[in-house]
Structure 1
Amino acid sequence: MAATDLFAHRATLGRAVGLLSAFRFEQSDPARFYGALATDTVDMVADLWTGVTSSPAAGRTVLDVGGGPGYFASAFESAGMRYIGVEPDPREMHAGPAGEPGAGTFVRASGTALPFADDSVDICLSSNVAEHVRHPWRLGNEMLRVTRPGGLAVLSYTVWLGPFGGHEMGLTHYLGGARAADRYARKHGHRPKNDYGSSLFAVSAADGLRWAASTGALVTAFPRYHPRWAWPVVAVPGLREFLVSNLVLVLAPS
């Protein structure tokens, strides 16, 4: 079985439209948006685990680097996995249901210096975090370090030149990151949460693919929110920077 065979059946146009529709509630109703995203993420990770290992994901330990509030925790625990979330910002840890009983374990730490032993978790996940750290591949290397041989590391991030690369700055990021952030500040009277150069960085698809290939652990890469028939765009240099939007790197350390 190929790593993506199971998940490919979920990667339909309807799923893509549904997730895109939910995105508009990120600010007004975060539970609605992040709840849907968490459920979809659990399905993706569980399918990838089974595709790579030919075994069920239930009972496995998941380390979520940059997990934020507890939406992902609740979803993973409901699927029978043990969840450990790593989050450097205490405001993010308390922004959602992270404090609910049974919603996983949370550790305050940096993703680029994880306080866990080598080969200590079954699955290491990072969802939409790499573009927010200055050294994203240091984060990736830490994920591989703590993932046991025969385990799975899944690193998913927003590509800078894609339509959502600017986050709340919208398409103005095509004018340049610093200029877009300054423009946002003038319009709204405060800096964007995802401020270019401090909490948002330009990470390309080519950068991620190059790093993943260099580790010797890369299994596959695909655009996270695209229907299956659009996945081949990842193999097209240049075009993928604008069309992939969010790149998933699947790695299996040996």
Structure 2
Amino acid sequence: MPSDSPGPSSPSGLPTLRRRATLRRSLGLLSDFRFEQSDPDRFYGHLAEDTVGLIADLWNDASGAPLHERRILDVGGGPGYFGRAFAAAGVHPGDYVTCEPDVGEMAAAGIRLESSVRGSGMDLPFADGVFDVAYSSNVAEHVPDPWRMADEMLRVTRPGGLMVFSYTCWLGPFGGHETGLWEHYVGGEFAARRYEKRNGHPPKNRWGESLFNVSCNDGLRYAREVSAGRRDADAEVLAAFPRYHPWWAWWMVRVPGLREVAVSNLVLVLRKRATA
């Protein structure tokens, strides 16, 4: 593997997840993207179910144990689709905590959760080392300092626990979110203006305010820095792979340039080391 890759991007170390990462799954997830605005229950419901499976597989591959009775933090959990999916998968509602800064977003789907906390991902309102798994799904591209958020997630993860950081890469086809598949390549402001002109209202994700340029390489660099001890948290990188790709396409993460346009969504999996 090239020296700029922070950890394994092959499926050999993730046998449980490999069984999930099929072409059929990929096609199903990609087909749902067109419903993000028109049918959010369908889009986020399916995405939440897949995310629960992803987290459970990663935990099983890392620890050899099921996810039940683990404490889980969902940073930017939104309106509750993910909490509902975790409950359906057998995770006790008290073991799942979501942290979301926007009250309106928390109530958007009318889903009530037992453990919803209002707070910023960049300053998590939790003590050190209290969660077995801290994860975020498609949140990093919506905050101005995603690596501060990643540091915070590692801070609240217990030694031996996992931090799973999944985000949309700006130069991938979905980097502009609802503003289009190509417009963001011209520029984020151009994409936002064109969306407003076409639809008569501004996009939900506004460039420079709630949508930012986060590259695939940014995430890989962060993972290398953490693994090398150059940030506050100390963790080892277990995996870096494209979230929506079948396992046999994970090699794309290892190719500079190509990974920026082809990976689409990068998943970083870090295991927090025990302090001396």
TM-score by length of 2: 0.88
Q: Secondary structure at the match of 2:174?
A: coil
Q: Distance in 1 between matches of 2:72 and 2:184?
A: 33
- State the 1:104 CA deviation: 4.0
Deviates more, 1:81-90 or 1:146-155: 81-90
State the match for 1:98 in structure 2.
111
- Deviation, 1:192, is 1.3
Q: Which amino acid aligns with 2:34?
A: R
Aligned length: 251
Partner of 1:242: 261
1:78-97 equivalence runs, <5 A: 78-81=88-91, 82-97=95-110
Answer yes or no: is 1:21 the counterpart of 2:31.
Answer: yes
Please, which moves more after superposition, 174-183 or 125-134? 174-183
Gaps of 5+ in 1: none
Per-residue deviation, 1:2 = 5.7
> In the alignment, which residue of structure 2 is the partner of 1:12?
22
Which residue does 1:123 correspond to in 2? Answer: 133
Q: Cα offset for 1:97?
A: 4.0
Q: CA deviation at 1:230?
A: 0.5
Aligned equivalent of 2:3:
none
Q: Which moved more, 1:113-122 or 1:23-32?
A: 23-32
AA at the equivalent of 1:117: A
Aligned AA (1:191): P
Normalization by structure 1: what TM-score? 0.95
Q: Does 1:162 align with 2:172?
A: yes
Equivalent-residue separation in structure 1 for 2:38 and 2:187 (angstroms) = 28
Change (3 A) 1:3 1:97: farther
What's the C-alpha RMSD, in Å, of the aligned pairs? 1.3
1:184 aligns with 2:195: yes
Contact (CA 8 Å) 1:2, 1:52: kept in 2 or not?
no
User: What is the deviation of 1:24?
Assistant: 2.1
Would you say the 8 A contact 1:123–1:153 is kept in 2? Answer: yes
Structure 1 residue matching 2:162: 3-state secondary structure: strand
Amino acid at match of 2:155: R
How many Å separate the matches in 2 of 1:179 and 1:22?
Answer: 25
- State, as a whole percentage, how many aligned pairs show the same letter: 59
Give the Cα–Cα distance (whole angstroms) in 2 for the partners of residues 89 and 67 of structure 1.
10
**In the alignment, is residue 226 of structure 1 matched against residue 245 of structure 2?**
yes
Residue of structure 1 in register with 2:272 after alignment:
253
Q: What corresponds to 1:204 in structure 2? A: 215
Bigger RCO of structures 1 and 2 (CA < 8 A, at least 6 apart): 2
Structure 1 residue 189, shift from structure 2 partner: 2.9
